Amino acid sequence: MSATAMGAAPGPSGLPRLLAGLDPRGATMTHADHVRVHGELPRSSPRQLIEAVEMSGLRGRGGADFPTAVKLRSMAGGGRRATLIVNGSETEPASAKDRLLLTRLPHLVLDGAVLAASAVGAGTVIVKLGEHSREAVRAIEGAIPVRPAEPVDLHLAVGPDGYVTGEETAVVQYLNRGVAKPTFVPPLPFQRGYRGHPTLVQNPETLAQLALIARYGARWFRELGSEADPGSALVTISGAVSAPGVYELAFGTSMTDLLAAAGGASEPLQALLVGGYFGTWVQASRAFALRLSREELRSVGCALGSGVLIALGERACGLHESATVIEYLASQSAGQCGPCAYGLPAIAESVRALADGVAHERERERVLRWCAQVRGRGACHHPDGAVRFVESALSVFGAELEWHRRQRCTAPPVGLPLAPGGAAGPLPAAARR
């Protein structure tokens, strides 16, 4: 395949960007259609690509929100054979954006992977998927053989599901030893990862965004969003909305417009869960005043995380739903440390008692004390994310505790998604500016 110079083509104005050319019938985009929509794979030097990514302000879309150019620069020119891993595990149950990209637009992700690998001197790209992502596995299996000669070797690896198995060190551990458990113990993947090589682990959406930046340039990327938060993002919106699915929206979009993209609320809302199950509950009245902005979300103690928004209707019980989620998170422990293996089940049991109205009078204070004791003491970030979720639930739904103590809650269960990719089903996708 012939190549074009980086940033030479005029980019599409407005939205969609990532989702341009998406087949509304759900078909995977062929390589020929991908080239028709986005053009040939651009050519650039590692320095040019990294500078463009740096100027664009692109940050990781997997939840950590780390500047992508910093990760690229940390490995570029290292002189050692490197590996790039596309982390398509997507073990956050309420997220479906990566599955959408890998299933429907695999060549955009693979373009970004090839470009990033070339920039950091990686000769191997491994697309790591979870066992639940059967459609994505088939799409990647079909996409790799039809691509033209690449400067890197492309491989697919399928691993176990489970909330902690998608953390980048868990992915590397699984590929090395067959054990998908995260760790804080050095060396980090970029120092010594897959088979001892420096390893760059990137989210599929991050790589898809990078592929567009390489084609159309940093200035084009910044035409949407704001100075602090440029570009667009994929958000999985579910819960009490009329059209749940994955939507591409510009940073700076109001929370009201985010919900409108998903058809609007299907009933009056009491709260929004922002960022997934390591995220934060926000009262609806506060959330409606927010925009899709790191600073504004931070002002109410939350972050976009892996791009998840769950709307909780007034008919639902936030305490019962939160109890179910923390029970799920406790069940997902890797069993590597006491705070996670013993602390989270104890917290989950107490939160369930609060929701069922059978807790003693000071149970809430005990749960909050345990949360403080668990925070920062785990072998990975799992307990930290779980207690953040619990603390926000007790804050937002705390006024209902007395009502529950009298066992007067009759709200029907909503059933938040508790299996990877469970928010999606057939994925409607739209783009709103």
Give residue 358's domain range.
318-405
Position 262 in a domain: no
C-alpha angle with apex 135: 130 to 136, nearest 5 degrees? 55
Phi, psi of 312 (to 5 degrees): -105, 120
Q: What is the DSSP letter of 426?
A: S
CATH code where residue 79 lies? 3.40.50.11540
Position 256 in a domain: no
Position 62 in a domain: yes
Number of domains present in the structure of the chain:
2
CATH code where residue 338 lies? 1.20.1440.230
Q: What is the DSSP letter of 343?
A: I
Predicted pLDDT of residue 429 = 46
Predicted pLDDT of residue 395 = 96
Q: What is the token pair recorded at 357?
A: 């109205």
Position 236 in a domain: no
Q: What is the token pair recorded at 123?
A: 């000769």
Position 423 in a domain: no
Predicted pLDDT of residue 410 = 79
Q: What is the token pair recorded at 406?
A: 């009298």
Contact 172, 29 (CB under 8 A): no
Asked if 214 and 76 sit in the same domain, the reply is yes
Q: How many CB atoms lie within 10 A of CB 11?
A: 17
Angle formed by the axes of helices 382-396 and 344-356, nearest 10°: 20
Predicted TM-score (pTM) of the model is 0.93
| Helical residues (DSSP H) of 195-293, grouped into ranges | 204-216, 218-221, 255-261, 284-287
Q: Which of 203, 225, 247 is a domain's end point?
A: 225
Asked if 219 and 324 sit in the same domain, the reply is no
Alpha-carbon span 380 to 352, nearest angstrom: 24
**225: β partners:** 230
**Tokens 């923390």 identify what position?**
326
Q: Which of 225, 258, 292 is a domain's end point?
A: 225
- Name the stretches of the chain with pLDDT < 50: 1-2, 421-433
Structure confidence by residue, pLDDT tens digits, 57-94: 999 999 889 999 999 999 997 777 899 999 999 999 99
Predicted pLDDT of residue 427 = 41
Position 348 in a domain: yes
Q: Where are the beta strands (DSSP E) in 226-330?
A: 232-239, 245-250, 269-274, 280-283, 308-313
Q: Which of 202, 225, 248 is a domain's end point?
A: 225
The DSSP secondary structure of 14-62, one letter per residue, reads SS-STTTT--TT-PPPPHHHHHHHH-SPEE--HHHHHHHHHHHT-B-SS
Helix, strand, coil percentages (3-state) for the chain, rounded to 5, are: 45, 15, 40
Alpha-carbon span 60 to 433, nearest angstrom: 21
Q: 309: Cβ–Cβ under 8 A, 6 or more apart, which residues?
A: 235, 236, 237, 238, 239, 258, 259, 272, 273, 274
Contact 256, 264 (CB under 8 A): no
Position 33 in a domain: yes
| DSSP H or E run through 130 | strand 122-130
Position 133 in a domain: yes
Asked if 28 and 169 sit in the same domain, the reply is yes
Structure confidence by residue, pLDDT tens digits, 286-315: 999 999 999 999 999 999 999 999 999 999
**432: β partners:** 249
Three-class DSSP category at 92: coil
Q: What is the token pair recorded at 240?
A: 């009490």
Predicted pLDDT of residue 80 = 79
413 burial via Cβ count (<10 Å: 0-12, 13-18, 19+): exposed
Predicted pLDDT of residue 416 = 79
Asked if 215 and 322 sit in the same domain, the reply is no
CA distances from 142 to 308, 323, 355 (A): 28, 41, 47
Predicted pLDDT of residue 167 = 95
Residue 84's Cα: distance from chain center in Å? 18
Among candidate residues 418, 342, 397, 334, the one with its CA nearest the CA of residue 373: 342
